[in-house]
Chains A and B, each alone.
Chain A
Amino acid sequence: MLKTLKGALIMIGECFRMSLNNIRGAKVRSFLTVLGILIGVMAVITLITTVNGVTGSISDSFMSMGAGTLTVSVTGSDLKTGMTKADLEAIAALPEVEGVAPTVSISNARVSRGGSYESRISVSGKNAYYFLSNPEVVTRGRALSFIDEDNMTYVCLIDSEMIETFFYGVDPVGLNLYINGIPFQVAGVFSAESTENIASIFLGSPSILIPYTTAMKMNSTAEVTSFTVYMADGMTSDTVSAAVEEAMDAMFSFEEDTFTITTMDAIEDTMETMMGMMTTLLAGIASIALLVGGIGIMNMMLTTVTERTTEIGLKKALGARQWQIQLQFLIESFLLSLIGGLAGIALGLLLSMILSNVMGTAFRISTDAILLGFGFSAAIGIIFGWAPARKASRLNPIDALRSM
């Protein structure tokens, strides 16, 4: 038994040596055969690594945008359609909450100054707390204050796009702008980039910010349907979410489906699920290339077996057993496929490094992808090499030798 095992080990070693010899002996053909596997593995590696990098970058920016906040959107009931100023103040007064920043949107506003006008401008109502917690938003002039909020003043902040349209070459601060026919004094300028939050990814960023109370008046409503909750220090999103939910349940008389609280964790989970599905889909498509590569290997091995009929017959005459012949051809196709796989992993990593540089996303080497590429190519070599190797081992030595 021990002797058989030793013989088998010697045989496996020799098979590797002979196979490398044979692959080296037919360089061009081996290269062309390997190309299919190479491209397949390269595609899988590149796709998985790139999607991983993009997911990483997106969730990083999500985290920085919305760290420490929850988003609440209110659908309301028949009795109560939104949150009043008093409701918001009650939420802001919760010990788990540091502050509340409502958003009241006026979509498709018509904005004009002098002879020029623009329609379909997105105007957003904000409160003073928003500017206190995000001071970097204002780049020139002043922020909106509690006085603006309480008195429903007609002041606004505008972004650089609005300056270009209405105040080209002049300092806008202190000048007037008409929103839906009402004159607003420009109090300052804000940077569009820093107002971006999760909502703006889906809704687009506003061009003009006004006091939210003024916006409610213009919308003829006393209620807010969307606001951001800033969590108090040391609170987890689950705790804050639960506290806000409890308070709001009471406000909406415990009616169901009146509001939704979205935490960053939930958004991240959704993102990851989406990206995971995308990875699976893309990897599925790429594995078709691997399948084609496998068929290429099978084709080459079948040709090789036919060409080496005499060699097989000779080896049988010299005492080779069926399993020894089969093992040799199996190892040859395994090696061939593995060489393609390793080259594919290397090229795939290189390609995704270049791609991540071009797209400006993170480059993260995925061990999963490498193991997958490695395992896939090894498996393909064995699966698609099986039939040709079996064919070789079953050759009748007489027929094989007759072709001498």
Chain B
Amino acid sequence: MDSIFFRMENINKYYRMGDEDMQVLRDVNLEIREGEYLSVLGPSGSGKSTLMNIIGCLDTATSGQYILRDHVIEDMTESELADIRSRDVGFVFQNSQLLPRLDAVQNVELPLIYAGVSQRERSRRAREMLERVGLADRMGHYPNQLSGGQQQRVAIARALVTNPGILLADEPTGALDQKTGRQIMQLFRELNDEGRSIIMITHDMNIAANAKRVVHIIDGVLTEGGSTSDA
């Protein structure tokens, strides 16, 4: 588990705001190995969400090189980027973002539909993943019948059901109380122990401390913050 999952070199990102170009990321260099657990710590407006979107191939950099596994991302078409998102990346958002009219299993099945997996196989994998995140008894529940923590577990199961190379989590505990947040962090640690790579974005230092490696981002500049070995 020592091979490089992705490497970013001199990534810059500009957004056009009216007449001005606003620089959101400045010469970002970042390398992630398979199986790493990294958190990106920074205040709001620091560019951390933009960084996550570029890592997850939802957005592309203005300049610089980004290589994910063997793919040179900046050369890719929209359809190829969608393939990467479908295969290599799993997203978890702050407000779990479940579809209200689908039950837990159907929500988890969603990425598999886009990957073209058959109904039977989808259902099997979704149930397996829901069991893994501790929701074996909540399979047929709709989002409004689940607590915030349970919803976030469904979202994590959905992100992992395609067995992606990396789990990208944007403020995964942001909408949860402290106790539930700790339980989610416990789940992340377990998942990482099972060999899954995780990148977690947060503004909360205590949450960031759960990761094995922390980087800081301020005004679009990324600095290495050293490892936390207490995990």
Contacts and interface: CB of A to CB of B under 8 A. Distances in A.
Partners in one complex: yes
Interface of A: 3-4, 6-8, 10-11, 14, 21-22, 25, 310-311, 314-322, 324, 397-398, 401, 404
A319 B87 contact: yes
22 contacts: A4-B116, A6-B118, A11-B116, A14-B113, A21-B102, A22-B101, A310-B97, A311-B99, A314-B97, A316-B82, A316-B85, A318-B85, A318-B91, A318-B158, A319-B82, A319-B87, A319-B111, A319-B115, A321-B86, A322-B79, A324-B114, A398-B53
A317 B114 contact: no
Given A317-B56, A404-B93, A322 B78 contact: yes
Interface of B: 53, 56, 58-59, 78-79, 82-83, 85-87, 91, 93-95, 97, 99, 101-102, 110-111, 113-119, 158, 162
Contact of A319 (B93, B97, B162): B162
A25 B102 CA distance: 11
B114 A318 contact: yes
A140 to B, nearest CB: 79
Given A311-B99, A401-B58, A320 B82 contact: yes
B58 A398 contact: yes
Contact of B116 (A3, A315, A401): A3
B113 A398 contact: no
B51 to A, nearest CB: 12
Contacts of B59: 397-398
A103 to B, nearest CB: 76
Given A316-B58, A321-B82, A398-B58, A10 B117 contact: yes
Given A318-B91, A321-B82, 20 more contacts: A8-B116, A11-B116, A21-B101, A310-B97, A311-B99, A314-B97, A315-B114, A317-B85, A319-B83, A319-B85, A319-B111, A319-B115, A320-B82, A320-B114, A322-B79, A322-B82, A401-B53, A404-B93, A404-B94, A404-B95
Given A7-B116, A10-B118, A404-B97, A318 B58 contact: no
A190 B63 CA distance: 102
Contacts of B113: 10-11, 14
Nearest to A324: B114
B110 to A, nearest CB: 6
A317 B116 contact: no
Q: Which of A318, A321, A398: most chain B CB closer than 10 A?
A: A318
Contacts, number: 74
A6 B116 contact: yes
Contacts of B87: 319
A328 B192 CA distance: 35
A322 B113 CA distance: 14
Nearest to B82: A321
Nearest to B85: A319
B114 A319 contact: yes
Contacts of A4: 116
A324 B85 CA distance: 14
B85 A25 contact: no
Contacts of A318: 85-86, 91, 110-111, 114, 158
Contact of B114 (A22, A25, A321, A397): A321
A11 B118 CA distance: 9
Contacts of A6: 116, 118
Contacts of A25: 101
B23 to A, nearest CB: 17
A10 B116 contact: yes
B207 to A, nearest CB: 19
Contacts of B53: 398, 401
A403 to B, nearest CB: 11
A294 B224 CA distance: 57
A330 B35 CA distance: 41
Nearest to B110: A318
A116 to B, nearest CB: 83
8 smallest A-B Cβ distances: which pairs?
A7-B116, A319-B86, A318-B111, A321-B82, A320-B114, A319-B114, A319-B85, A317-B91
A315 B110 contact: yes
